[in-house]
Structure 1
Amino acid sequence: MQNKILFWAFLIVSSQLFAQSLPPALNQIKESDLKSDLEALAGVNFKGRSAGTLDELKAAMWLGEKYRAIGLKPAGDDGTYFQFFTLWRNQISEQTSIELNNKKLTLWQDVSIAQMANTALNGIITYLGNAAEIDTNSLNVKGKIVAIEANPKGINLNVSLPTWRYSRYIYTKYGADLVKRGAIAIIFIADDTAENGWKDANENFKRGNYDIDGGANVNLTTTVPVLWLHKGSKKDLEGNSANLKANIVVSKYPYPSVNIIGKIEGTDANLKSEYLLYSGHTDAHGVRNEIKGDSICYGADDNGSVNVAMLSNARAFVKNPAKRSVLFVIHGAEERGLLGSRYYSALPTVPIGNIVAVLNGDMIGRNHIDSATVLGALPPHRNSEELINMTLEANKEGPNFKLDYTWDDVKHIEGWYFRSDHLPYARLGIPSLMYTTLLHPDYHTPQDNVENINFPKLKKMADWMYRTGWKVANAKQRPATDKNFKLER
């Protein structure tokens, strides 16, 4: 009899402890909701939600309507769910003209412009040779138009989107020093690697660059243009007698983008003025080059997966509010340089000091069902040991992912910590981290579509984010920022 009593007492205590660790509205996070929401958001109607386009704005309106239907209160500007802001875009104008040896070159076909500058050039081109075979430090390039043949030697291309990045790597390795030494224009001659990536690189060059007021790209300060020619142009340049005549015109104009912001008020009279902030981003990459018969970059994983997980988390907090208030901020124009999160962290719709933590997500619906990670777990990226401990406890209590911490290493080639919307908040000292299930070959391609999402895994990630948020939103004390937190860059 005594053994039976002890057994039942054990079961009661165990069930109470389990109930304490289980957030009360976890059952509101449903795989069926995640799937139906993502099919709409990452479907053909929004055409990849490219920042600064009507497609991004239409998707934002759809998300705002979802906020309303779920029961979030508006927390944007003027009693709405929206905080509109202006993107400033610099782009090569159609008025631009380029001639090589008096032969007109067709822009984006014969020649590409990788770095913009409003400038007129008319002069002889100094051919420097193959990049891997010259010492730029020994050259006098001041006041000269220089040409150099690209070479991948010493460049690690075992990285995501190598065709997007190669031209930038070449400029960093060889071009930046030539600019410092006084070159007035740089021409890179494509090697095989650059030729293979010409179409992808072109798509990025054509778009130009974007920024918000106060950003480095608002007023174009670059004075040195960087051009790319096909490898066949080498024969025209080797004799150091070729002439470049160019009139490069840069257009600048504004585009709208928007942050979508909703809130759920807390239940505690003293803590409801503090906020837990869930973070995602609306935009993907719109319509680009065709790959495998499709040209729409649907952004199902990047970052539709996080947005629909946030909607599910919102349903849970509406069903059972926490002591602190909860903000759901889906930022605009992340793919253009974290512009929405930079804007909101500078002009928040709640007091910035009242945001106690930021739980950001970026790509949480792919790869093996038991693999994931959280960035901001290891110094110097960690800015709150208390927040990370809550996150790790939540993982053990529920999804139990095997976490890959190598992505938090400062030497990791992707440098992914610096490429998502938690960063502006972390720089302000707000405890911040990023959930992800890591990259995959469909990243930034049309194959990042709903059909390739692992919905059981997406639900596990949504559960993990909710479990963590429930802990943060109900803790007696807000998570502390680590002393002496300082990022490596």
Structure 2
Amino acid sequence: MKKVTLLAFSAAIAVNACAQQNPTAMKYGKLITAEDAKRHLSILASDEFEGRETGKPGAEKAANYIAGEFKKLGLQAPVNGSYFFNVPLVQSALKVSAFAVNGKPFVLGQDFIPNGTVPDKNVSGSEVVFVGFGTEGEIGSTDLAGKVVLWINEDKPEEGKTANVAVRMTTARLKVFANLQSKKPAIILAANGDLTALLKRFGRSIASPRLTIKEEAAKANTGVPVFHVTTAIADELVKSTGKTYSDLKAAANTTPVVTAKADFTANFSNDRTDVKAVDVVGFMPGTDLKDEVLVFSAHYDHIGLEADPKAKDKVNNGADDDGSGTTGILEIARAFSKAQKDGHGPRRSVLFLGNVGEEKGLLGSEYYTDHPIYPLANTITDLNIDMIGRVGEEYIGKPDSANYVYPIGSAMLSKELHDIGENANNTYTHLKLDYKYDDPNDPNRFYYRSDHYNFAKHGVPIIFYFNGVHADYHQPGDEVSKINFPLLAKRAQLVFYTGWELANRDKKPVVDGAK
């Protein structure tokens, strides 16, 4: 009995030590409220902003609103007196005049889509080379130069492991893909069984004009064109073998390379126009550690208006994705601003970064991290918020549905940063921190799918805060009426408290992980 009592007493002391609250941080963290969040989000995700698509008037309205709020808060305008950081983009509208196999035509957005921006090119051939899973061991000395290549866009199965078969390429697959491109084929056709269902839901938007950073668009026009294709196209390509694509796939371990007779024709070109786009940046200088910078980021863009003229609701409001994160940034900025005005400004400088073009390929954050206003060597952490206003599909009906968040990436570059995030939550917010997606090999690849990744790839530690996807993800139903504002505010408070510690502690987090 005595031993139990002593253990309990020791445990109580440990918990209290861990939960030592900073009254100053508490004072300003409480300024992040559901009511104020609703005020911001009701504007940003209104129909007036037309879904905030990059390069469109709605995104410009959102950028002006965010800049106006930064100005009201007294944040510095760090781009020669402006809150706008120009991101030079090019829009490429793909025009396909032909895409046929054995005289059978296929349709962009229904049967195939480009992988990124493809160069202007006319491709024709009388045979196709099936390369299985495309590894160097499978290809061997096969000459692919100038050939039409059909590739299984899935991870190669390994004994004892569940292979990732999603359309989105994994890290391992990207290496195989890059090697295939280095063989200089005329075109790569990446087949995947999940593509048909994906195109049925998103084909119209996926096949819409693509945006690219201007300096990358020039490079893309000299590369190898790559198209994702359905298994229906793949079947037609290998028809002359007397086998289906599935047959060849099943035999790929023993017969990885097969040459099939097929008349393939594809003619495509791009109409290119420059697009105006801006990241929105607000800066708060620190005190004794002002040369070091903490970044809070969220993307303010979304996917715009529905392309289907028959759609009843034409506006993809993007209240959760990522109006909620943008709102969180504005709330956190307000808390820091009030603290600074009261004489409790951060020791480190803080950059509030509203990214454009996330939905188009993380473009705004990519351009910022390649052309940073403040050196990335001095950037201690990026705390990125992308979707914190809803209950994700996996938590619907669960007891803790209104008290969780998915943190992603916190320990991938810095175990110390992970501990800082954990301690902030244990001390102040007591959310359930669900690390289900905190894995670069997770099939959903969320670690690679928001703006934090462009910081991480440069070696800057990150934490990505996320509520999971839901039925309204990238749909017109992602509206303000479905936002849980108390939950949004609580998640934003966790980001604030984590940032408060990072901005004021003596040392920046140690980077001890791989990029």
What band does the TM-score fall into relative to the shorter chain?
A: 0.7 to 0.9
State the partner residue of 2:360.
336
Q: Which amino acid aligns with 1:454?
A: N
Tell me how far apart the structure 1 counterparts of residues 387 and 272 of structure 2 sit (CA, whole Å).
32
1:340-370, Cα deviation, whole Å (9 max, x unpaired): 2222223333454443332221211222211
**1:105 CA displacement:** 6.1
Which of 425, 437, 460 is the equivalent residue of 1:395?
Answer: 425
Map of 1:376 onto structure 2: 409
Structure 1 residues 112-171: Cα deviation after superposition (integer angstroms, max 9, x where no partner): 55573422234435596999xxx9759978454466899999799999xx9xx63868x9
Q: Give the counterpart of 1:256 among 276, 296, 308.
A: 276
Q: CA deviation at 1:459?
A: 0.9
Structure 1 residues 175 and 463 mapped into 2: Cα distance closer, same or farther (>3 Å)?
A: closer
Any idea what the Cα deviations from partners look like across 1:420-461, whole Å, max 9, x if unmatched? 222333344434322222333332222222122111111101
2:498 aligned to which of 459, 464, 468 = 468
* Partner SS for 1:297: coil
Change (3 A) 1:317 1:118: same
- Looking at structure 2, the residues matched to 373 and 104 of structure 1 have their Cα atoms a distance apart, in angstroms, of 44
Query: How far 1:225 sits from its partner (Å)?
Result: 4.8
Alignment of 1:55-454 (within 5 A): 55-75=58-78, 77-93=79-95, 96-98=97-99, 107-108=108-109, 113=114, 116-126=118-128, 142=144, 143-145=146-148, 166=167, 184-185=186-187, 193-200=194-201, 202-203=203-204, 205-207=206-208, 209-212=210-213, 215=216, 218-226=219-227, 228=229, 231=232, 238-239=239-240, 243-266=263-286, 268=287, 270-288=288-306, 293-321=312-340, 322-324=345-347, 325-367=349-391, 368-378=401-411, 381-383=412-414, 385=416, 387-454=417-484
Tell me, yes or no, if the aligned pair for 2:195 and 2:229 is still in contact at 8 Å: no
Whether the 8 Å contact between 2:406 and 2:436 is mirrored in structure 1 is no
Q: Aligned partners of 1:353, 1:186: CA distance in 2, in Å?
A: 38
CA shift for structure 1 position 86: 0.4
Deviations 1:386-428 (A, max 9, x none): x333322221122101111232223322222222222333344
Relative distance call for 1:341 and 1:242 in structure 2 (3 A) is closer
Note closer, same or farther for the CA distance 1:329–1:110 as it changes in structure 2 (3 Å cut): closer
SS in 1 for 2:89: strand
For 1:157 and 1:92, locate their aligned partners in 2 and report how far apart those are by CA, in whole Å: 36
Q: Which secondary structure state, in structure 2, belongs to the residue aligned with residue 97 of structure 1?
A: strand
Aligned with 1:356: secondary structure? strand
Which stretch of structure 1 is more off in the superposition, 408-417 or 106-115? 106-115
Q: Is the 8 A contact 1:119 1:223 kept in 2?
A: no
Aligned letter for 1:302?
D
Other structure's SS at 2:280 match: strand
Q: Tell me if structure 2 keeps the 8 A contact 1:376–1:383.
A: no
SS of residue in 1 equivalent to 2:350: strand
Aligned partner letter, 2:298: G
Q: 1:356 to 1:406 in 2, by over 3 A?
A: same
Preserved CA contact (<8 Å) 2:452 2:464: yes
Check whether the contact 2:93–2:272 (CA below 8 A) recurs between aligned residues: yes
Q: 2 CA distance for matches of 1:235 and 1:213?
A: 36
CA contact (8 A) 1:112 1:229 kept: no
Alignment CA distance shift 1:253-1:219 (3 Å): farther
Structure 1 residues 428-437 or 277-286, which shifts more? 428-437
Whole-angstrom CA distance in 2 between matches of 1:233 and 1:277: 45
CA distance in 1, matches of 2:451, 2:46: 23
Kept in 1: contact 2:188–2:227 (CA 8 A): yes
Structure 1 residue ranges without an equivalent (≥5): 1-12
Inter-partner Cα distance in structure 2 for 1:393 and 1:186: 48
Change beyond 3 A, Cα 1:100–1:337? closer
Secondary structure class of the residue paired with 1:308: helix
1:130 touches 1:151 (CA, 8 Å); kept in 2? no
CA contact (8 A) 1:125 1:146 kept: no
Q: Is the 8 A contact 2:49 2:61 kept in 1?
A: yes
CA contact (8 A) 1:46 1:59 kept: yes
Q: 2:57 aligns with which of 39, 54, 71?
A: 54
- Relative distance call for 1:445 and 1:274 in structure 2 (3 A) is same
Matches of 1:409 and 1:93 in 2, distance apart?
38
Report the Cα distance in structure 2 between the residues aligned to 1:70 and 1:138, rounded to whole angstroms. Answer: 61
- Work out the CA distance in 1 between the residues paired with 2:151 and 2:335: 58
SS in 2 for 1:391: helix
Q: Tell me the TM-score normalized by structure 1.
A: 0.78
2:485 counterpart letter in structure 1: F
Is the 2:154–2:169 Cα contact (8 Å) retained in structure 1?
no
- Secondary structure at the aligned position of 1:307 is classed as helix
Report the counterpart of residue 4 of structure 1 in structure 2.
none
Structure 2 residue matching 1:481: 3-state secondary structure: coil
Assess, with a 3 A threshold, how the Cα gap between structure 1 residues 150 and 438 changes in structure 2: closer, same or farther: closer
Please give the alpha-carbon distance, in whole angstroms, between the structure 1 residues aligned to 2:152 and 2:378: 53
Identity %: 28
The 8 Å contact of residues 429 and 490 in structure 2, kept in 1 or not, is answered as yes
SS in 2 for 1:24: helix
Contact 2:409 2:439 in 1 (8 A): no
Mapped to 2, the partners of 1:339 and 1:151 lie a distance apart of 26
The two structures have a TM-score, normalised by structure 2, of: 0.74
